[in-house]
């Protein structure tokens, strides 16, 4: 068995315009001071990272790693959640997602998609230059507005959407393959890849591409009332990244999974700071360790109650306490009889 690495922290929810969150150096010092050993960097945030430069310059990538090394940190992965979202956008979300893109392509869906694909290609090259083996992203969505089967969907609508999604992502997956990097889709409501079934629909259409993998985040399964432990048993060989994020689902007589259009604080299903929700992380870490997962355990903080600073501080300790020092010996070795093959045959009555 292999040991999970960590604790690490995803910097997207912490980056800001004020110290210590407005530069890679200062946020790295802050994260290290809390006990983190790795950071996952949002590639779209210019305060922390220059994706274009990283895709072209190994010297710049060495500078990034050097900055982190100054604080005894490693770079776990890059993230293109926002750019990946823009690879496939249903027209209903054009306005909502325009803000994710560069200003010069906003209001132009075709140009925006081309920009997003270019960003993904740059991310593949940057990950290679940084010596990374996995990358986090979203799939985007064409079929999501038709999730609930009312009004009745026209025959072939979902199939057409997934055919197109696969067509858009196949060249990107090939680029990541050339870079030696696994592309890990976060299985997430709002994306066409939001559960195991939809992931399989996509995987089949990209012809079981070996770089098509998952980012495992149990919080999104809690909110869907999906069994997140069974998910590990089914897809353990596709789980290449791990976000440690908590959540809770408390249905009432008034609301359930859909939560009645309420703000996060009033929803039946909501994300919580690590340790404050319902996710059974002890079982998750046990299962992942049992299957030999040796990637990073990366805190993703999202909570409508607790501050990010407190969440980050508590999260480092919680993750560290859950990481298992996997055994290299069997617990019952002391009782080994030392018998050989011939003795075994004798015991079994085999002549």
Residue 178 has pLDDT above 70, yes or no: yes
Q: What is the pLDDT of residue 251?
A: 98
- pTM for the full model? 0.95
Copy the structure tokens of residue 83. 């750019």
Could you tell me which residues come within 8 angstroms of residue 283 by beta carbon, excluding any fewer than 6 positions away? 229
The domain that holds 258 is classified in CATH as 3.20.20.150
- Average pLDDT for 156-165: 98
- Give the count of alpha carbons within 13 A of 134, CB side only: 21
Q: Say how many C-beta atoms besides its own lie within 10 A of residue 306's C-beta.
A: 15
Looking at residue 340, its pLDDT comes to 82
Exposure pattern of 95-131 as b/e (b: 16+ CB <10 Å)? eebbebbeeebbeebeebbebbbebbbbbbbbbbbbe
pLDDT tens, 97-130? Answer: 999 999 999 999 999 999 999 999 999 999 999 9
Per this entry, what is the length of the chain?
Answer: 351
Token reading at 158: 């979902």
Task: Identify the pLDDT of residue 220.
Answer: 98
What does the pLDDT read at residue 323? 98
Angle at 7 between CA 19 and CA 51, to 5 degrees: 55
334 pLDDT more than 70: no
Q: How confident is the model at residue 345 (pLDDT cuts 50, 70, 90)?
A: confident
pLDDT value at 186 more than 80? yes
* Model confidence band, residue 343 (pLDDT cutoffs 50, 70, 90): confident
Strand locations in 252-322, DSSP E? 269-272, 296-299
Residue 335 has pLDDT above 80, yes or no: no
Q: Does 145 score more than 90 pLDDT? A: yes
**Domain region containing 291:** 5-348
Residue 37's pLDDT is 98
**Distance (Å, whole) CA 316 – CA 306:** 15
**Distance from C-alpha of 228 to C-alpha of 188, rounded to nearest angstrom:** 13
> Exposed, middle or buried, 141 (CB in 10 Å: 0-12/13-18/19+)?
buried
Domain count, the chain: 1
Please report, rounded to a whole number, the percentage of residues in the chain having pLDDT higher than 70.
99
């Amino acid at each position: 068995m292999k040991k999970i690495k960590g604790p690490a922290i995803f910097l997207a929810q912490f980056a800001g315009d004020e110290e210590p969150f407005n530069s890679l150096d200062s946020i790295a010092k802050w994260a290290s001071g809390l006990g983190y050993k790795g950071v996952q960097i949002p590639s779209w945030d210019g305060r922390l990272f220059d994706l274009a430069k990283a895709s072209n310059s190994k010297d710049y990538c060495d500078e990034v790693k050097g900055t982190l090394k100054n604080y005894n940190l490693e770079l776990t992965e890059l993230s293109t959640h926002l750019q990946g979202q823009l690879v496939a956008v249903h027209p209903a979300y054009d306005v909502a997602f325009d803000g994710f893109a560069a200003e010069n392509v906003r209001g132009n869906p075709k140009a925006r998609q081309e920009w997003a694909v270019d960003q993904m290609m740059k991310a593949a090259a940057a990950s290679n230059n940084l010596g990374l083996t996995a990358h986090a992203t979203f799939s985007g969505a064409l079929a999501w507005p038709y999730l609930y089967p009312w009004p009745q969907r026209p025959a072939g609508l979902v199939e057409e959407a997934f055919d197109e999604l696969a067509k858009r992502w196949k060249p990107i997956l090939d680029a990541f393959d050339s870079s030696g990097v696994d592309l890990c889709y976060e299985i997430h409501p709002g994306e066409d890849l939001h559960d195991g079934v939809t992931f399989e629909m996509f995987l089949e259409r990209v012809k079981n591409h070996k770089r098509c993998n998952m980012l495992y985040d149990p919080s999104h399964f809690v909110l869907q009332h999906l069994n997140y432990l069974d998910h590990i048993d089914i897809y353990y060989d596709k789980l290449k990244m791990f976000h440690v994020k908590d959540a809770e689902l408390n249905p009432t007589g008034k609301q359930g999974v859909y939560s009645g259009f309420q703000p996060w604080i009033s929803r039946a299903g909501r994300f919580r700071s690590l340790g404050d929700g319902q996710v059974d992380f002890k079982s998750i870490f046990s299962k992942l360790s049992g299957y030999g997962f040796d990637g990073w355990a990366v805190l993703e903080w999202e909570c409508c109650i607790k501050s990010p600073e407190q969440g980050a501080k508590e999260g480092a300790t919680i993750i560290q306490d859950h990481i298992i020092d996997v055994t290299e010996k069997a617990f019952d070795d002391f009782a080994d009889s030392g018998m050989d093959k011939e003795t075994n045959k004798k015991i079994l009555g085999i002549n």
